[in-house]
Structure 1
Amino acid sequence: MVTDNGLPPEPPGFAELVADLALAYADLRDPNRRSLVEQIVTGAIAIIPGVVAAAVETLDAQGRLGAPVMVGNEVARAVMDAQNELSDGPGLQALRDQKQVVVNDLGSDGRWPAVAAAAASAGVQSVLCTPMEVNGRSFGVLVLLGGASDFGDSAEDSAVLARIFAAHAALALSGAATSGQMATALESRDLIGQAKGILMERFHLAPDAAFALLVQTSSHTNTRLRAVCEQLCDTGQLPSDRRAPRPSPTD
């Protein structure tokens, strides 16, 4: 069954889950709230037809699949580990090509027989891997696993819903990353302001001169600017170096 726009009807709860994902990044610092990735994985299992296990996977520096936050369950872990042992598989291909990979029947597909064998041992017969990307930036791949071939005769609907779901989830992850970057930038700005204030009062420096002293100290001591400011605010002392410039008082 499809709607007038050619898409399958959204399962019950789909709109609400998407809304939760889109807003979840605002609450990431709440220790009582499940992580955003946990929400993505749990939501995919709950509402996409035929899905029995799921994971959000990324590539590590060695090009291996990893799910540092959460894997749906041990079924998903077994399929991911099999791909890492072979350095190949549907999840890796989806990440490398940034294209959705659909395997409706692992037993007859023939592309990854060893992965298929591991999946079959874990009770998985179908796999659906959908890249999560926003503006050219990859946030991983949503991997959905089915306990029956063709996701229990829902393969077409599951594939379309997976693309919709992955797009919304990637936007949520993008928002979380942006929110975190903004928070870090604001914290750094406040820290630099405090450090400048200390130097301005102690040495009667103008704001620009105080900032220049912080930058020069960072360079001369090979210390990050944030770390220089943190040390000054915490101890009242700048990192020492015999080449460090001496402050010049304002006129």
Structure 2
Amino acid sequence: MGTTRDDSAERFAQLALDLHSSGGVDETVQTVVEFALQALDCSHAGVALIVNGHQLEIPAVTDPVVAEIYALQVNGGKGPLTESMRTRSTVLVRDAATDDRWTEWNTKVLELGVRSVLDVPLTTSAGTVGVLGLYSVQPDAFGPDEDAIAHILARHASVAVASARHEHNLGQAVDARKLVGQAMGILMERYDLDGDQAFAVLRRYSQDTNTKLHDVAAQLIETRQLPR
């Protein structure tokens, strides 16, 4: 037992390092699903993430089967994924052949060869960011040990996804500031404006054309003209 715990601790320590070195959200969740195959008794794994507050996207799966199962629920269908997302709780399907909670979903996953499912929400202090889905072609594949490991993995994944998104947003903000700065420079040189006046011109065009400020700046830089 001690050796098993030591091995698990070492594997999760390596996972933390791998997640830290991941380049972005897609790379982060791909690392998570690949680790899930190694650490858990599952045939397939995938991650669904919430974007724009309510929409779902599927950035990482280990098999096209998972993408098909997710597709059933992404567009409003009922199943363990949407249930886990809604309740922010773990949902276990011991055997899709006998579970009667989602008839349409059960029929489809059985056709795809999946028998048991474990969906674990990815949550942070700010809310739910997605769901980690684990799938097996064997019935009753996920017991207490698998559940415990899945929850540890979900915690690592939640923090890593939140950090990757934060870094991405910061990068976008920096890029936007650079664009606005370059556009202001063009206006200042062409029309002999100071910084405040150049920014006011960009902001006015942004408001009048209902266009984001950085998009107005990008168009000015590319065409050397303001939007009509």
* Category of TM-score, reference length = shorter chain: 0.7 to 0.9
Given the alignment of the two structures, is residue 46 of structure 1 paired with residue 38 of structure 2, yes or no?
yes
How does 1:51-66 map onto structure 2 within 5 Å?
51-58=42-49, 66=57
* Partner in structure 2 of residue 211 of structure 1: 199
How far apart in 1 are the matches of 2:16 and 2:51? Answer: 27
Matching residue's letter, 1:39: T
Identity %: 33
Is contact 1:102–1:159 with CA below 8 Å preserved after alignment? no
* Partner in structure 2 of residue 28 of structure 1: 24
Structure 1 residues 136 and 10, CA gap change in structure 2 (3 angstroms): same
How far apart in 2 are the matches of 1:194 and 1:85? Answer: 41
How does 1:98-137 map onto structure 2 within 5 Å?
98-137=88-127
Matching residue's letter, 2:24: L
How far apart in 2 are the matches of 1:230 and 1:72? Answer: 38
TM-score normalised over the length of structure 2: 0.83
**Deviation of the 1:188 alpha carbon:** 1.0
Is contact 2:24–2:165 with CA below 8 Å preserved after alignment? no
How far apart in 2 are the matches of 1:90 and 1:19? Answer: 30
Is contact 1:41–1:72 with CA below 8 Å preserved after alignment? yes
How far apart in 2 are the matches of 1:194 and 1:229? Answer: 8
* Partner in structure 2 of residue 243 of structure 1: none
Which residue of the other structure, out of 63, 85, 94, is the alignment partner of 2:84? 94
How far apart in 1 are the matches of 2:215 and 2:85? Answer: 36
Which residue of the other structure, out of 133, 140, 148, is the alignment partner of 1:150? 140
* Larger relative helix fraction: 2
Q: How many residues align?
A: 226
Matching residue's letter, 2:48: E
**Deviation of the 1:233 alpha carbon:** 1.9
Is contact 1:102–1:129 with CA below 8 Å preserved after alignment? yes
**Deviation of the 1:57 alpha carbon:** 1.9
Structure 1 residues 166 and 2, CA gap change in structure 2 (3 angstroms): farther
**Deviation of the 1:10 alpha carbon:** 2.1
Given the alignment of the two structures, is residue 159 of structure 1 paired with residue 134 of structure 2, yes or no?
no
**Deviation of the 1:227 alpha carbon:** 2.1
How far apart in 2 are the matches of 1:179 and 1:41? Answer: 21
How far apart in 2 are the matches of 1:95 and 1:2? Answer: 35
How far apart in 2 are the matches of 1:215 and 1:64? Answer: 30
TM-score normalised over the length of structure 1: 0.76
The CA deviation string for residues 101-130 of structure 1, in whole angstroms up to 9 with x for no partner, is 122333344323443343334332221100
* Partner in structure 1 of residue 15 of structure 2: 17
How far apart in 2 are the matches of 1:219 and 1:78? Answer: 42
Is contact 1:65–1:80 with CA below 8 Å preserved after alignment? no
Is contact 1:200–1:207 with CA below 8 Å preserved after alignment? yes
How far apart in 1 are the matches of 2:177 and 2:73? Answer: 44
How far apart in 2 are the matches of 1:231 and 1:225? Answer: 10
Is contact 1:64–1:87 with CA below 8 Å preserved after alignment? no
The CA deviation string for residues 140-168 of structure 1, in whole angstroms up to 9 with x for no partner, is 110101233332xx511111111111111
